[in-house]
Structure 1
Amino acid sequence: MNDIAGYVEDLARRAKQASRSLGFASDEARCATVRAMAVALRDRADEVLTANAADMDAARAAGTSEGLLDRLLLTPVRIEGMAAGLEKLADLPDPVARVLDERDIDQGVHLRRVSVPLGLVAMVYEARPNVTADAAGICVRTGNACILRGGSIAQNSCVAIAHILADAVEACGFDRACVSIIETTDRAATAALMSLRGVVDVLIPRGGAGLIQRCVRESLVPVIETGTGNCHTYVHASADFAKARAIVMNAKTQRVGVCNACESLLVDEAVADAFLPGMLAELAAAGVTIHGDSVAREAARDADILGSFVDATDEDWGREYLSLDISVHTVNGLDDAIAHVNRYGTGHSECIVAEDADACDRFLREVDAAAVYANASTRFTDGGEFGLGAEIGISTQKLHARGPFAAEALTTYKYELRGTGQVRP
């Protein structure tokens, strides 16, 4: 493909044109289309699995890490999850045409503030092909068209899913360009997409810190930033140890290659000697490598698991591992824990384990993150778990959406004003 920029611009302009009819479509038509997309995924799951197998073989041959392989892998269960997520989207109240405000202003002019689609949403993402279905479904449900740019490691899977969904959109009477995907792995395509200000209404990157920062730095299109997840679990002096161990193990090991996994364990020094040896032994038994401070090293020695321990550096406190690794640091009370989380966290998901209600209240109030937990695993930060249906990512910025980035976040609003001939005095 010689003219990458021309190819991407043509694809985007056709998608933008397609977005207009979708934006004016009824709620019933958009819901029916999203449900048809779910049916198509189930009916053609074998095509997706075949494409994904090719991606997995190539990724393994390239020495891809286990965490990324887990993100890349599709199974019948995961495809069913994608389809079920689409159906949940269809069951949600219509996010479009909601009256957000209504009143009479001066001279009796009637004002309404009404939610409307953004228009054309570009999504740039890496190793998770399920994002193709989530992004396409949320966009169609909200009356937006999408142009998708999957990572090269997942290209076969992403293209297969996008074509299946576009076929379903077309079968429901809409332009298949409503779900468009860039079918070249040339890096120039991403640069071309980021240059299309005025055609693309918003760009959403989802992936590692490098991808996200590149989009933030280089995009001429407005960017909604979905962040990396250096998520902490803080074990307070009042914590129930059994509860804390269960939460840490779930948050760290239930699925390591996801942004809401726990990457950093903080333990109050008042209970470190009692809590850490057993906790570290349990983590080591699950194959987790512990990157710890001097107190954690002594606990690892007591637990006889120094083979699973490495001395932490300052870089470990802010690292998103996406693997069976965790940083472990002791803190001097609640103030120290909150300060550490706010310094090294990425604004994603943070947890305190404590029986002290006042400590929980302060942590929830003072930690600056999209989702803050008391006595529950950070793994719950997910659009589906929050009852929002499929999500397009977790926003760690504060404008214009924060947390699971689901249907309502893909709308903006406009003012509709009706008068009877009024003029401003």
Structure 2
Amino acid sequence: MVIELLSGFKGLSPFKDATVDDSWDQINRCYVFLAMVLMGAVTTMRQYSGTLIACDGFSKFHPQFAEDYCWSLGMYTVREAYDLPASMVPYPGVLPSDLPACVPRLLKNGTLTKCGSEKDVLPADRIFHLWYQWASFYFWIVAILYYTPYIMFKQLGGSEYKPLIKLLCLASSASEKHMEEIQERVVNWLFFRFKTYIFDKGYYAWLRKNSFSLVIGVTKLSYLLITVAVFYLTGFMFEYGNNTWYRYGADWYGTRFSPYMDVNNSITLNKDILFPKMVACEIKRWGPSGIEVETAQCVLAPNVLYQYLFLFTWYLLVAVFFANLISCFLHISEMFFSNGTYNRMIDQGMLPNKPMYRFVFMNIGAGGREIVQILTDNSNPLLFSKIFNDLTSMLITTAKNDDVVENLNTKTETSVIEFESNDSL
């Protein structure tokens, strides 16, 4: 019973034996997805087990009530308390927000410093840190987002080629008799499809033979847009503004080992702005004497963990962004530079550069070339060369019998006829 239950979850794994998408797309649906699931599991366990916060300074309220209140309604830091020497604040951003605008100080010459009117000073800016309530959900949502393009890819035709890939994987361990049967089935499957790609004309035929390549392009673009959206919305999730999150990973590297930071701690690091370990909490409650207000300091211990998880997330998103950018560029190159993809097929399939191979490859459209590339990636070169040779022979024979070769351009027609006069198929 337990074994059957566990085997049912095997299909949910993003790591498949037979894959239709390329390695660039697998970075998103496998590795980024797995990283987000693991971090989601860690934050969920940390957030819903053990002590989350500890507050000190409340005298009117029960400790458990105070901590639940602060966790639910939010804790804050004061923007004006950043970038102050460590001797003036207990922690960056932690100061009472109702302090006077200026405290007169006695100078050495015996005079006092002058302070402006309280009316001329803006009130202190409280920054409420409410993102921590979303920390565990954040990673699960991002994991789902990175798996969604693959689901879309399968629904738009990617799953149609999965049985073909499984046949090729099965052929590697099959007997010689079964291998020939598998080879025949693959050739027949490809023949009827590529026959339509080559010989049917019109807008619908063009769209059909290029549709699979367009689906792959949309999938790759979706991964890129999701990465940009996640990076932007993560910054938006933090209450104080986006700029600090955008610089988080770069500033961590730049200021982590900076020598001047140890002089007086007068510059607040981004990790202490994004993930404060100590915050203020103000409780307002209706009491016998009216509104009762009390403020205390709270330690937000989970932020010690979150600062490293989100640092890893920052670097991961930046790396995946460039990977997806390269993936989109390579896919566009393959669509418009068919000579390069043809040479790649010849090299990977260990095929000779024959005119009939070029004729078929150049006329099956971008979608057909994507299918051929999937074949080369998921089968051994010997099997692929047999499949492609038999397939090409059948397509050329069909073209001659249907007088299609006569309608092709002179160069291609001459190449095919010369090849057939020198090589027997």
Q: Same fold by TM (over 0.5)?
A: no
TM-score by length of 2: 0.18
Q: Going by fraction, where is helix more abundant, 1 or 2?
A: 2
